[in-house]
Structure 1
């Protein structure tokens, strides 16, 4: 199975799945995904199926922001096409709203832009909830993340993709598993020994209460409240917390209570019969990296299968997106394919 695969993707999160599919389409080589978890699995370390996946734009204030906007633009275009051609994928475009109780200077006075954001408009004071000083509306999208990951996995398999469930200790193991591999794409989330990587624990609550838009609010204390509907009757995600370096795995009932109380204040119409119908608490560890996304290529020298010599593989890194994995996903996948094509001296790069 793995013996004939020339491209190996490590990791089956949203970056790994989209990269594998894009490589299948553009590089035209057998692709193998090696991962310890796949769509359908539940693990606190497998963050993608837990995500409240949605789009919220950001002002392009730094070179990293500009880069992120470009990647998001690619993702938005792909998702728009998929939403119209594959309703079973669990994608829906809808209104998004952003609120700030104490807006940073980069937002005050902002009248438009937000990169490639359709429908952007600064809200009038009369449209803002109590305590909110600034807000805007724009066209967003939301995904039913477990449904979408399963959709991508099915497409990968249908196109001839191979999978191997295995927890790797080192990327040096890959060429021994796939002896004909020429390219390794590292979508492992937290990297392999990267000192800049760390987990960020997040807690949200999935409820049956319906909402017809995504809403994100930054509170005065710096915390965030968000409401993200999941298409295909997947409920609504109420969030959320961000606790860098927190390795605990349990859900906190006090946190859940606070999240629901804040959501009720921010968007009262979501409350039904005085409360929320809770489906479950969600706890996941987002793979985060100081300095943000690592997206680059290098060469990796490995021992031959016989152990008598060495050979060189192309290694492409694509990990550390934190909570922006879905927003960046298809843009990152395109860049991964470009890097692979360039490394393989393939003329396909021009078509990506």
Structure 2
């Protein structure tokens, strides 16, 4: 079977890797942007990236989250070349953030007994006397942090080892991925749509429920040693405060923002200052108790999370007679859902092509 996967972000690459392990598929990953590129349309390189589930208990997304922990933990334990490492993760909660956009988004994460407490190792609540000023409660667990600059090329290498072909392509309509010159093995049997934010503009899809949620970060050389996140900030609903250190010398990510509908690609210097001030205030050890002038900045970054109203779209349909399976719209959860979503996508591919009975 000849399959074209549109998109070489973490969703497209993970889907290609899992599908290429199944017999009988000739796979082409066709994309405008590839690992190594840094472009505002291409979210995956900018991500933190980590495992901090925000999916509500009992939902399909929670199942995808759960299905992703095992593979990520295996990479952290057994495959250092993938750029994934274990890190303690502290979630700080402030009562005054209750009802804010960030606290609502993080509701499950902030729970003292979330569903994932039985999935991740070492989940526990921190004693109140150990908490900093203004923090009313906190939990901690073992998570992973991913160096995207290593992990995305690693995914490519796994795909190449399984015979996947990569090519640069720009499609105006999803059916263009089935044109005769796209797949070297002939007629395309199915297309997988992993276009992320660009699903809002791709002909035949044009999903207007997909919008950007602009995230701005500062990457520094200062070591954090752990991952920290807080339920909100005093700078408005569109801003957030988190810290994480990427694996294998990838630097420490300070964030951030969650600005829905904002396509601006350039860093806002005033927001960058607020991000750094919040990070140092939350975790003074970053600068040994000194100010932000003691942060050693590597670069500033902006990425656009592909947020879809109603959640990630994993489904199949026929578009002008062509089988299409969609996997896009994970927003800021692309890495922590990646294996669950890709597994579900592969199942739909096999169902559409008759390799798996419909449930």
Does TM-score exceed 0.5, indicating one fold?
A: yes
Aligned-partner SS, 1:249: coil
Distance 1:79 1:112 in 2: 19
In the TM superposition, residue 347 of structure 1 has moved relative to its aligned partner by 4.7
Question: In the TM superposition, what are the counterparts of 1:1-352 in structure 2 within 5 Å?
Answer: 6-58=2-54, 60-61=56-57, 66-102=59-95, 104=98, 110-111=112-113, 113-114=115-116, 116-176=119-179, 177-178=182-183, 179-190=186-197, 191=199, 192=202, 193-221=206-234, 222=237, 223-272=239-288, 274=291, 275-301=294-320, 312-347=321-356
Across the aligned residues of Structure 1 and Structure 2, the Cα RMSD in angstroms comes to 2.1
Distance 2:357 2:163 in 1: 20
**Number of matched pairs:** 333
In the TM superposition, residue 349 of structure 1 has moved relative to its aligned partner by 9.3
TM-score, normalising length: structure 1: 0.89
In the TM superposition, residue 314 of structure 1 has moved relative to its aligned partner by 1.7
TM-score, normalising length: structure 2: 0.87
Query: Contact between 1:18 and 1:333, CA under 8 Å: does it hold in 2?
Result: yes
In the TM superposition, residue 163 of structure 1 has moved relative to its aligned partner by 1.2
Distance 2:55 2:98 in 1: 11
Query: Contact between 2:10 and 2:152, CA under 8 Å: does it hold in 1?
Result: yes
Aligned-partner SS, 2:334: helix
Distance 2:358 2:157 in 1: 26
Change (3 A) 1:271 1:349: farther
Query: Contact between 2:66 and 2:116, CA under 8 Å: does it hold in 1?
Result: no
Q: Which runs of 5+ in 1 are unaligned?
A: 302-311
Distance 1:163 1:313 in 2: 21
Distance 2:111 2:283 in 1: 25
- Find runs of 4+ consecutive structure 1 residues off by over 6 angstroms: none
Query: Contact between 1:228 and 1:236, CA under 8 Å: does it hold in 2?
Result: yes
Distance 2:189 2:259 in 1: 38
In the TM superposition, residue 26 of structure 1 has moved relative to its aligned partner by 2.0
Aligned-partner SS, 1:117: coil
In the TM superposition, residue 104 of structure 1 has moved relative to its aligned partner by 4.1
Distance 1:349 1:332 in 2: 18
Query: Over residues 208-267 of structure 1, what are the superposed CA-to-partner deviations in whole Å (9 max), with x where a residue is unaligned?
Result: 000111111122544320001011011100000111111222111111111111111111
Higher mean displacement: 76-85 or 182-191:
76-85
In the TM superposition, residue 120 of structure 1 has moved relative to its aligned partner by 1.4
Change (3 A) 1:335 1:206: same
Q: Which runs of 5+ in 2 are unaligned?
A: 100-106
Higher mean displacement: 98-107 or 155-164:
98-107
